Structures are given as structure tokens and as C-alpha cells.
Structure 1
Amino acid sequence: MKYMLIFRATDEALGSMMTADFNEVINSVGAYNDEMIRAGVLLAAEGLDDPAEGVVIDFSSETPVITDGPYGETKELFGGFYILNVASKQEAIEWAKRSPMTGPGFKTEIRRVTTIDEFPQDNEWIQKERKWREATGQL
């Protein structure tokens, strides 16, 4: 099963991370990544750019409203993610608990990644996506 670990932090937590020694942060995250690579569970890992560089598209009205970052009131920002291939939710939890991104204001959300097999297979769009996934080596 695939699980996504979604790393979130408050503005204050991100600020504290920015004042930490960069080499220490890179070394601790690198060691964490290496442990998951050696265990064969890491499929993908990415961090996200500064929220000030982002854009939000709000579909609350008929015409979408586009707002440049920063986003105004933010309680927790989505800062990066990992995709793991593990046997269970509990195993994903165990990997998340080892994360070096810890402390007040840091949270990790764990969500199972659904598979195409969970959707109606007689739907033409699902069939097209399945063909694309097969052609690109994703299935």
C-alpha cells in the first residue's frame, strides 16, 4: 500500500527551522531518507518552495479568484511530502514517528494513496487512465 506523509508546520515552526543550522537539517533529513531508501519503502520525497512564491486559486465563486502568496491567515502550511510503499498504516505511522522534522508547530498527516483499482473499471475515463498508467510503467 502507498501512504503519503504530509509535512505541515505553523509559520512559527517554519521560522524556527530557518534559523537552525542548515547542515544539521540536511544531515538529519538525509539520514532519514537514506534509512527509508535502504528499507525499500521510499517512492518519492519532495519539499515545497516558500509559500510567498505560491498561488491560490479559490473556486468559491463562479469566476475563480487567483491570489498570490503568501496566503494571509495560515495556521499550518503544507511544506513537503513523502510517498511510501509499506504493508500497513501502522508501518507508515512508524516511519513518520522517526521524522527529524519535529517540535512545537510541526505535524505529519498520513493518508493512504488510493489505487486505480478502487474505481469503477467500466468507466471510460478510468479505462483511459489505466492505459496511460500501463504505457508509462505506473502499473
Structure 2
Amino acid sequence: MSDAVRPTLAASAAVFRDGRVLLARRGAHPGAGLWSLPGGRVEPGETLAEAARREVWEEVRVEADILALATALDVIIRDRDGVLKAHFVVAAHAALWRAGEPQTGPEAAEVGWFAPADVAALATTSGLAPVVDAAARLLACRAGATPTSA
């Protein structure tokens, strides 16, 4: 393991609108070309929810109401020889769309709204489908509905 690599705290949000989740195809590394949730590093003095809200706005220009932490995910990146290159601890939130139409930019080469059941068939960052499922279940429980498999 490389002594220079330390875990980086990040936050993301599964933003739902009319039963669909907002995804962005990453325009930069890590994960360039893969679909993912908008998210990024937590800045000093920010709460996890504040960071998630800010990252959604910065990446795709959507305002979201962050409702709850859905799950945490370790993103560990190694080179072909197994040398650790990066380690992100991502606090993924469940959120609802408030305003704005998603836009592309340097970090989001493409954006779209997807049915949660369709996420597993996409080329995504590692572990995305279970994160979306956890967020969808959390929102269904908060709404008083019986959660179903996405």
C-alpha cells in the first residue's frame, strides 16, 4: 500500500424526480465515461449533506433537497499491478429534485433521468446500482410506501 494515499471523504446524491434518478456520465477521471451520481469531495467546514447539495449544483446545475444518508461506499482504485492509487469514502444521500434542468459540463459529459431498475444495465461506477436501490428504498419508506425492489 502506498503511504501517500489516504482516504478522501466525498458526498453524492441520488436525486429523484417522478420516480427516476438523475445520473451523470463522468467527463473526467476517476471513472471517465461511466454513469454515476453527481458528487465529489467534502470541503472543510461542510456537512455531508451540504457537500452533496453543492456537488449536485456544481456538476449538473440541479437544486436538490437532501433528505437522508442512504449508504456509504468505499471506492478503492488500484493500478494494473495492484498498487493503491486512490481511496474515496463516499457518503451517498437520498434526495428529491427541487429545481433546474440538468446540464452537462466539465465533470458531467452527459446527464439523464433513469428508472432505478435500469441502472444495473448501464456502464456505471462500481456499486452504483445498490446505492440507487438503497436511496429509492429509503425515499419509499419516508413516503410511507412499501418498498419494492428497483
- Normalised by the length of structure 1, the TM-score is 0.29
Considering only CA atoms, is the larger Rg found in Structure 1 or Structure 2?
Answer: 1
- Normalised by the length of structure 2, the TM-score is 0.28
More strand by share: 2
More helix by share: 1
Higher RCO structure (Cα 8 Å, ≥6 apart): 1
